[in-house]
Structure 1
């Protein structure tokens, strides 16, 4: 697989940094963003192929971030919800109409490999 630009958006720096590091080790250009505003600003000059976003962030939550990415880039970006919230959480259910994939934290290597096959 070609190198992809992947944003990992999470207000938990440790979570964002560790997932971005794993994606980098897999050969992708991964960027950790610590909030939705940061990710949207970065996307204006370096458009991602994929955005992995937490749903329950402080400030702009993942649902709003997903909506804005869809509005700006349509289906040209893969959106992946990565959250500690269970699938029956109302915020998560609402996100299902906007995102392409949903992973409950902690994300496993197997899930990442299925999303980005070699």
Structure 2
């Protein structure tokens, strides 16, 4: 993979404005972003397409983000990074993220520098797969 590689990022959030804003920021960073508004849609999209990164809200309407992460992890896509991007911030939330196979648990709001670090790490992982 060359230096011009563009990540394929799936933004999963039940708030359409939040999801679209985050997708726009990903696009401004030079990567491709798609939006899913619930867990089932996210799982279907990842199963049917080649994403490198999932930015995942925990409080989704149909299943929580921990369950989405567990199901995505079972797909066995080595180059896929899954990052919780959520308002949930308790120690229990962090433990649940670890147990669900999330690569990171980031508490909203996420600044542009923090988002860029997430994208850079996902790019490194994708290149190594």
TM-score, normalising length: structure 1: 0.90
Describe the superposition over 1:17-53 as per-residue Cα deviations: whole angstroms up to 9, x where unpaired.
1101100111111011101111111123212101010
TM-score, normalising length: structure 2: 0.83
Match status 1:30 vs 2:49: no
Shift of the alpha carbon at 1:69? 0.5
Match status 1:116 vs 2:115: no
Aligned to 1:17: 20
Which of 95, 98, 122 is the aligned partner of 1:96? 98
Q: How far apart in 2 are the matches of 1:69 and 1:106? A: 24
Describe the superposition over 1:54-86 as per-residue Cα deviations: whole angstroms up to 9, x where unpaired.
111111110000000000125431010011011
* Structure 1: stretches of 5+ with no match in the other structure: none
Q: How far apart in 2 are the matches of 1:46 and 1:36? A: 15
Which has the larger share of helix? 2
Aligned ranges 1:1-118 → 2 under 5 Å: 1=3, 2-88=5-91, 90-97=92-99, 98-117=101-120
Alignment RMSD: 1.6
Does the Cα contact within 8 Å between 1:55 and 1:63 map onto a contact in 2?
yes
SS at structure 1 position matched to 2:48: coil
Q: How far apart in 1 are the matches of 2:55 and 2:18? A: 11
Q: How far apart in 1 are the matches of 2:104 and 2:78? A: 13
The count of residues paired between Structure 1 and Structure 2 equals 117
* Structure 2: stretches of 5+ with no match in the other structure: 124-129
Shift of the alpha carbon at 1:113? 1.2
